[in-house]
A and B are shown apart, each in its own frame.
Chain A
Amino acid sequence: KQEVTQIPAALSVPEGENLVLNCSFTDSAIYNLQWFRQDPGKGLTSLLLIQSSQREQTSGRLNASLDKSSGRSTLYIAASQPGDSATYLCASYYGQNFVFGPGTRLSVLP
């Protein structure tokens, strides 16, 4: 059974800092890995999707990497802003469905 964990569970940083969110999965036989953002009381917004054959994806200030052999993915956020405050979830596509991590709650202080 695939299990996905995320470290840290919560993170508070001052505006402008670069930060890294970590995602680990137990079974490396994944098809892809997706990072989502969730604002309080809202649904999930897709940020980046990395195919199993890829090493990283970039979108603006966001960069996600994937290391299947070690069962890890990282989401790098450059020059953080208060508007980045949200919960970030990773999900590994395994079998026929996504398996989600519990999320990292990020607060960026002005």
Chain B
Amino acid sequence: NAGVTQTPKFQVLKTGQSMTLQCAQDMNHEYMSWYRQDPGMGLRLIHYSVGAGITDQGEVPNGYNVSRSTTEDFPLRLLSAAPSQTSVYFCASSYFAGTEDGYTFGSGTRLTVV
């Protein structure tokens, strides 16, 4: 099925560990983004990309790293996990920034840092 695929769905990390959250889409979307969702705070933008080789910071980029080597993939790296990064992470994509078609979201990755 076409869409946005996120892996893993659940992950528990120890403080200081690093890991990569995967996001892939097969809709040939140029725009991809990462959000985190915390109770009572809505979704906050971490990083985004308007095309392969182009990335930029969002509202809460500290502690996260991204790269966009292909149109399909947009991995999010946690460099040294902290308990404050416990959250649900969503990847979203669209044809291009500001598209009239809106966003398509992945099903999320629930991360717990202990």
- Output the residue of A45, A91, A98, A99 with the most chain B CB within 10 A: A98
Is the C-beta of B71 less than 8 angstroms from some C-beta in chain A?
A: no
User: Interface majority SS on A: helix, strand, loop or mixed?
Assistant: strand
Is the C-beta of B52 less than 8 angstroms from some C-beta in chain A?
A: no
Is the C-beta of B90 less than 8 angstroms from some C-beta in chain A?
A: yes
Is the C-beta of A34 less than 8 angstroms from some C-beta in chain B?
A: yes
**In the complex the two chains form, what is the Cα distance from A96 to B50 in whole Å?**
9
Is the C-beta of A66 less than 8 angstroms from some C-beta in chain B?
A: no
User: Which A residues are in CB contact (< 8 Å) with B110?
Assistant: 41
**Given contacts A43-B105, A43-B108, A102-B41, is CB(A97)–CB(B97) below 8 Å?**
yes
Are A100 and B33 in contact (CB-based, < 8 A)? no
**Given contacts A31-B98, A42-B108, A43-B90, is CB(A98)–CB(B42) below 8 Å?**
no
Q: Interface code B37-77, partner A: CB below 8 Å = 1, 0 otherwise?
A: 00011111100101000001010000000000000000000
Give chain A's interface residues, CB within 8 Å of chain B: 4, 31-32, 34, 36, 41-46, 49, 51, 89, 91, 93, 96-103
- Top 3 nearest A-B pairs (CB, nearest first) are A43-B107, A100-B43, A44-B105
